[in-house]
Amino acid sequence: MSEVVAAVRERAARTPADRERLADLLRAVAICLVVLGHWLAISVTYEDGRLSGRNALTDLAWAHPVTWLFQVMPVFFVVGGYANSASLRSYQARGGGSTEWLLIRTDRLLRPVTALFVVVPGAALLARLAGVPSDVVGTATWLASIPLWFMLAYLAMVVLTPWMYTLQTRAGLWVPGVMVACVGIADLLRLGFGLPYVGESTYLIGWLAVHQVGMCWRDGLLPTRRAWLLAWTAGSAAALVLLTTVGPYEVRMVGGNTNPPSLVLLVLAATQIGLVLLIRPAAARWLARLGPWTVVVAVNSVVLTVFVWHMTAAAVAGAIVYPTGLMAQPSVDSAAWLSWRVPWLASAAVVLLGLVAVFGRIELRRPELVPMPPGRARTALVGLGVLGVLGGLMGVALAGRDYHGPGGLPPAAVLAYLAGAAALRAARTSRTSYPGRS
């Protein structure tokens, strides 16, 4: 542990002065808010020997505006666009190619996910052998897999970055502008004319638009004058209010407005981006101090592990504190239920800290990789690996909360992901350093 602390301090101390530290802070804050929001919204019950749970937001209408504060995935995608384009530019400037950059960029991203794909099915199999009912195992594994929808979307952004950044250098702000217009048209067809399936396209286009804005930020295309930023933020906030009161969109930013990503979600993203740019000067001064910056570096060193395992932590905590009677079960939307959120958050946090202590090392380490000479075979292997990983993630994301076999998760999806991850690992070249990592 002392070695890890020392390494974090050393990394913080040698951070280049020109690094956009606000992006790292936003990544850490966004993931922490997502974890907190998910845990707050879980309503767990234990009755007649059966453990179950649901989303408490269905009973908490007063809390729907609060989801505007916790829906920070747009911030994460903006930061992703900034970091991915910065990393790609840095790597290309050193003479590297897009394929090798993709292998390097997906290395840390996939390691925590791969651990989940191995551990969760194994735990589910042991639970079934111990006599746990199949529906309980199915619900638990589904809960643990919830973060994978985000990993699917974000990995798609990483894969598309080389092409999207080339387009970005030619068309600038027109790229996200056209994407936002496409999302608006899809919403019109879906909500106005009731056409089915058109909204499915926005799962890619919507998040890609936000990711692209991050690239624009990195290239200095976003406004910096305070007057412009105030107008941008106030205007988008006003549009957000109108769209959710007079317009056709619901107030809650978790659920319908994100499933699929809608125009109002992009307006929320615009409001958040405006606020981010407004606080940027003050944040830069604060993050220039070694103490705050070291904390940010420490959180970011295991941020993917925290995100990937936080719903597993909730499932484990629920299985411990509710059947044993340690946690009361007052009715949702009562003062007692709200007060019991505090010990619930504490119990989930304790479990998550344990999981991070065990699995965080996977994200921290840089393992020896199997060398493979460049060429068409390597490129083909990368393509197959990407398809396997994306296909496996999509299979799990679309599977639902049913029981899908001894491992809980759909076996074909698990095998596809693991085969894809293995192919990408085999395609990586051995390196002692990772150029271009941001």
**What's the pLDDT score for residue 18?**
87
pTM of the model: 0.92
d(C-alpha 141, C-alpha 214), whole Å? 33
The one-letter amino acid at 270: A
Tens of pLDDT, residues 5-21: 788 888 899 998 889 99
pLDDT in tens, 278-335: 999 999 999 999 999 999 999 999 999 999 999 999 999 999 999 998 999 999 989 9
Is the confidence at residue 44, as pLDDT, over 70? yes
Q: Which tokens is 234 given? A: 């106030």
Q: Could you please report the per-residue DSSP string of 343-410?
A: HHHHHHHHHHHHHHHHHHHHHH----------SHHHHHHHHHHHHHHHHHHHHHHTT-SS--STTSS-
Per-residue model confidence (pLDDT) at position 415: 97
pLDDT of residue 435: 47
DSSP-derived letter for residue 63 is: G
pLDDT at residue 99 above 80?
A: yes
54 has which bridge partners?
43
User: Which of the pair, 432 or 181, is modelled with greater confidence?
Assistant: 181
Q: In the structure encoding, which two tokens stand for residue 115, read together?
A: 């651990």
Residues 6+ away with beta carbon under 8 Å from 276: 22, 26, 75, 78
pLDDT tens per residue, range 350-363: 999 999 999 999 99
Give, for 92, the enclosing helix (H) or strand (E).
helix 73-93
- pLDDT by residue (tens digit) across 397-425? 998 888 888 899 999 999 999 999 999 98
pLDDT, position 373: 55
pLDDT of residue 434: 43
- The rounded percent of the chain whose pLDDT value lies above 90 is 71
Contact between residue 366 and residue 84 where contact means Cβ atoms under 8 Å apart? no
Residue-level pLDDT at 429 = 62
